[in-house]
Structure 1
Amino acid sequence: MSEYRIGAGGWGYFDIPGTDPLKVYSKAFDFVEVNSTFYNIPQLKTVDSWARRVPETFTFSVKCHRDLTHKYLLSPIKGAGGLLEAYLDICRRLHSNLLVLETPRSFNPNQAVDNINDLLSRVQLDDIRLVWEIRWGPPGKELVKLMQEFNIVHCVDLSREPGPAFESDILYSRLFGHGLHNLYQFDDAELLEIDKRVQDSGSGSMYLSFHGGRMYKDAARMKVYRKGGQFPRVTQYTGVKALREVLQEDARFPASKEELIKAQGWKVIDMEGDRRVHAKALLDKLDKGMYGSVGEVLEGLEGLEGL
């Protein structure tokens, strides 16, 4: 029986005053990618507290510290093996079998296959799977061979790529979309395409980790769709009123048309007929020029057909 888990990159922003964010998050989702571990090595008592605060059916994946991937570059040098072992221990304490590695765009692992093999041969992975996001580019033939030998999962962004370089029993996708600095929200068509790519993978265990400006809402919408076959609304209003709704959140004025599109166009709004579009679709209809307020933006759209 296959499992399909949907979550986000951390629970730190899942903040409801007076509540424990992790406990509340674990009631909404059954999976989380722990991202804070990329920047800081947590105390084991903290890790143990995470495990105690979630249901037994909840799943963690752990992002490995950046020193291993960005400083040591997965080489078998002093400190690398110990750091990897420490993170494998964190996974075990969380009953997690997923350790996420993210190597930078500047590092070409195809030229470091021997070093990576040496490092991984020194540790006992047991049933923990390494999930590797290779930002440099696609893995070459020798690197794919190494990844398969160590049972590594090739992690890709299914909003940007059709799938991993090779088939695996596990599919893991870190989803960022197409925005600047991870500012992005997925519309219905994009979520449908992601889901199709997941289904086409043929994997037995599938994990979607949403990242970005609306990651909790994106993950929740995908869960609702998976359960009932329809996407929920994202805004209270539709059309121009929906645009007003999202602009009032944080739009800064004065701003040019181009600045508004860059800062606000990534957000998704509801339209008539149970459909959703990016705010850019409406902002594109503005005349070029400067706008001093949300009201001036709405005035600029008055009388336009379809709004």
Structure 2
Amino acid sequence: MGEIRIGTSGWLYPPWRGAFYPEGLVQRRELAYLAEQFDTVEINGSFYALQKPASYQKWAGQTPDDFVFAVKGSRFITHMKRLRDGDTLLSNFLASGVLALGPKLGPFLWQLPPNFGFDPAVLADFFGRLPRSTAEAAKIAAQHDDRVDPAYLTPDADRPLRHALEIRHPSFDTPEFPALLREFGIALVIADTAGKYPALEEITTDFTYIRLHGHEELYVSGYTDEGLDMWAGKIRDWAQHGDVYAYFDNDAKVMAPRDARALKDRLAR
């Protein structure tokens, strides 16, 4: 039976204040409060811009010893370079401080744009360049350029790294795709996107990564009791094959922490 972790996609949302976060809680305490409720969270800011080592160190310091961060990969790699010619960008991303999370560094999430179709050659090349341990990540990070200052290049220990891929183009609905993921040991992100993007449910490596964006309306709608029961059942089944990470991204109306709590409660029964 694998370990099951339930959390949210990000934590800095003004509408959560007074709804999920207690009135009067200062912003710098919000992550610590969230980490009292859940045991994992996705870092989203890393998708939009390189973060600083001091930020990753601060986040690690605000959370319990057994907390885990999933880190979203840079959009400059996935959306702008579209996985091509991105060696320096990958080095910069890995040098920006992710290794400062130490034992709290969980899976990397790589999200492709909706207009990125299935291209096995490009994907295989990208998968082959991804580090599979913190020692490998440090070697790649050492090739960073001057856009990263300061850099964080020294992991506290050599640990395995995990990677998950989220797709949004219908051309990925082919048997070749999960076969490629299995070949490289990459998890397919199982995503609920209100029917907008493909809903593929294949277990392709030793862990499962789930993103729940909303079942009726993307990023907005909450999950019904029946819907949460369904996901709890699926997660119990997937946990038979390894660890499970599930993140709610329906944050627009403060649904994410509510639904994460409800799903966590179901799985604790």
Map of 2:58 onto structure 1: 49
Partner Cα separation in structure 1 for residue 235 and residue 67 of structure 2: 20
Map of 2:147 onto structure 1: none
Indicate whether 1:74 and 2:83 are aligned.
yes
Map of 1:208 onto structure 2: 246
Gaps of 5+ in 1: 229-307
Q: Which of 180, 184, 194 is 1:146 aligned to?
A: 180
| Cα 1:220–1:143 shift into 2, 3 Å | same
Post-superposition Cα deviations, 1:208-247, rounded to whole Å, max 9, x if no partner, equal 100113100000111222224xxxxxxxxxxxxxxxxxxx
Indicate whether 1:217 and 2:258 are aligned.
yes
- Classify the secondary structure of the residue corresponding to 2:191: coil
Partner Cα separation in structure 1 for residue 208 and residue 127 of structure 2: 21
TM-score with structure 1 setting the length: 0.66
Tell me if structure 1 keeps the 8 A contact 2:192–2:215.
no
Aligned length: 223
Map of 2:25 onto structure 1: 18
Tell me if structure 1 keeps the 8 A contact 2:3–2:242.
yes
- How far the C-alpha of 1:139 sits from its partner, in A, is 4.8
Partner Cα separation in structure 1 for residue 199 and residue 206 of structure 2: 17
| Cα 1:83–1:165 shift into 2, 3 Å | same
Matches within 5 A, 1:235-246: none
Post-superposition Cα deviations, 1:8-56, rounded to whole Å, max 9, x if no partner, equal 0111125443331111111111010111221121111111111111111
Tell me if structure 1 keeps the 8 A contact 2:115–2:169.
yes
Which one has a bigger Cα radius of gyration? 1
- How far the C-alpha of 1:148 sits from its partner, in A, is 1.9
Percent identity over the alignment is: 26
- How far the C-alpha of 1:150 sits from its partner, in A, is 2.1
- How far the C-alpha of 1:70 sits from its partner, in A, is 0.9
- How far the C-alpha of 1:162 sits from its partner, in A, is 7.2
Map of 1:157 onto structure 2: 191
Gaps of 5+ in 2: 134-159
Query: Structure 1 segments of 4 or more deviating over 4 A?
Result: 158-163
Q: Greater RCO between the two (CA within 8 Å, min separation 6)?
A: 2
Partner Cα separation in structure 1 for residue 225 and residue 94 of structure 2: 37
